[in-house]
Every structure is written in C-alpha cells, then in structure tokens.
Copies of this chain bind each other. A is one copy, B any other.
C-alpha cells in the first residue's frame, strides 16, 4: 500500500437529523459564495434541496447554521452563523485528526509484507 491510502467518511447523527460530507460541502459553498442560490448551484443541488439539507444540518446540531440577509424566492445574501463556522471548522479538522490517528495502523498494514 502506498500513496494516500485512507479514505474516510463520517457523519454526525443528532437527535433530529444528521450532518455529513454533503451538508458540510454546502456550508462551505455558502461561506464561499455568500448566497444560498449560488451555493446550491456550486454544490449541484436545487435551491429547494439546499434549503432542506441546511435545515436538516441545523436540526442535527440544534443551532442555526446560516443567516440570510433577505428572503424571497431565489434568496438574498447568506452567510454562516458562528455555529455554522464552528461546525465547518470542526469537520475540516476532524478529517486531519482522524487521518493522524489512523497513521500507526496504516503503517502496520503497509508492513504486512514481512509476514
């Protein structure tokens, strides 16, 4: 085994919904784009689907994750709340932390050749 051998996927399940890579990508897109419709486009989902996903993410965490500067069809500006920023940051860090934690096992697996 060589290269970057570990692929990780993880999801947090709350009492009322879950948040995983897709919703985190959407949060990142909201952050980057400053608009929910642009974020939905970037993530390759409909505006309506983006709302649903972010609503589920919000319920999973029990916090509002985005705030919009105006409502209406097509949406106005949107940005992450401090909770949204925290969720995004924790997920991004989790990937690094988990890869580091897996490193010893990966090394042992790579050395099975000596068996």
Chain B residues with Cβ below 8 Å from A113 are 62-63
Using CB atoms and an 8 Å cutoff, list the residues of chain A in contact with chain B: 1-15, 18, 20, 60-63, 81-83, 86-87, 90, 93-94, 97-98, 100-102, 105-106, 108-109, 112-113, 115
Q: How far is the CB of A24 from the nearest CB of chain B, in Å?
A: 12
Bound together, the chains give a CA A109 to CA B8 distance in angstroms of: 19
Cβ contacts under 8 Å, A3 to chain B: 13, 15
Tallying the copies of this chain within the complex gives 2
Inter-subunit contact A1/B12 (CB<8 Å)? yes
Are B105 and A63 closer than 8 Å at their CB atoms? no
Given the complex of chains A and B, what is the CA–CA distance between A108 and B100 in angstroms?
Answer: 19
Cα separation A105 to B10 with both chains bound (whole Å)? 13
Contact check, B62 vs A112: say whether CB atoms are below 8 A apart.
Answer: yes
Partner of A11 from B7, B61, B87, B109 at Cβ < 8 Å? B7
- Which residues on the B side are within 8 Å of A62 (C-beta)? 1, 112-113
Across the interface, do A10 and B6 meet the contact criterion of CB distance under 8 Å? yes
Q: Report chain B residues within 8 Å CB of A105.
A: 90, 93-94, 97
